[in-house]
Structure 1
């Protein structure tokens, strides 16, 4: 059940924190891409924002695996660092080139900010909201 909660936490964090920060940056004129994009993605025609939420849920699974036994202070730090680094590296080195999108210092910075916000949001939904807090490993007798 923890894995399902983790997936849901990552998907919700995408919609609230990742897209919320993107909305703020967009309205401040910093980000050129509008948040909550409902245009279709290739090849399945799924709206971009729902595709992002799905992949946010998928990324939450390895995040939960990493933080599930961490003490509280490391739970938050690892969530922030994993969120900022792992999805950004994959996006910039794999996804963007496959889609023919330009990669620049600005896209790296934006990815680190948006995905870091996603990591913290996922931790918030995993922990206090869904009560999916890290726990002490159970060692069988």
Structure 2
């Protein structure tokens, strides 16, 4: 039962971080003309046909649960924002390998430096945001 709380708080932090930090970074990059897709996209995506934003938020919650559990089990050895940033890099690596393979896309982003820096920036902002939100939750829900 003690791991349920960090998993749930992590899930919530992951979902909120997608909405605030991930999509906020996409919005800034889109406004600057650096990414073609606008944030908060609601078109249906396979395999379930749910809106893209819902899918991204769900997977952000899954990653956030993992980070919440990791931080809870590691004590206070990892600063949450640093752990979140590392998690964001891991998200990019999984996206460029596992997700790309499942979708039939080029592995490692086709070694396109533009894809890499955008992915690292967007996912890094997401991960850092999860860390910020978990740190805030730790202070609010001491115990």
Same fold (TM over 0.5): yes
**Match for 2:81 among 76, 97, 101?**
76
- Which residue number corresponds to residue 116 of structure 2? 108
Alpha carbons 2:42, 2:51 under 8 Å: kept:
yes
Which has a greater percent of helix? 2
Deviation, structure 1 residue 123: 1.3
Alpha carbons 1:9, 1:57 under 8 Å: kept:
yes
Moved over 4 A (4+): none
* Bigger mean CA deviation after superposition, 102-111 or 86-95: 102-111
- Which residue number corresponds to residue 139 of structure 1? none
TM-score of the superposed pair, with normalisation by structure 2? 0.82
Deviation, structure 1 residue 32: 1.5
CA distance in 2, matches of 1:28, 1:111: 16
The unaligned stretches of length 5 or more in structure 2 are none
Question: Root-mean-square deviation (CA), in Å?
Answer: 2.1
The count of aligned residue pairs is: 132
How do 1:78-97 residues align onto structure 2 when only pairs under 5 Å count?
78-83=83-88, 85-97=89-101
**Match for 1:123 among 118, 126, 131?**
131
How do 1:1-141 residues align onto structure 2 when only pairs under 5 Å count?
1-68=5-72, 69-71=75-77, 74-83=79-88, 85-101=89-105, 103=109, 104-128=112-136, 130-131=137-138
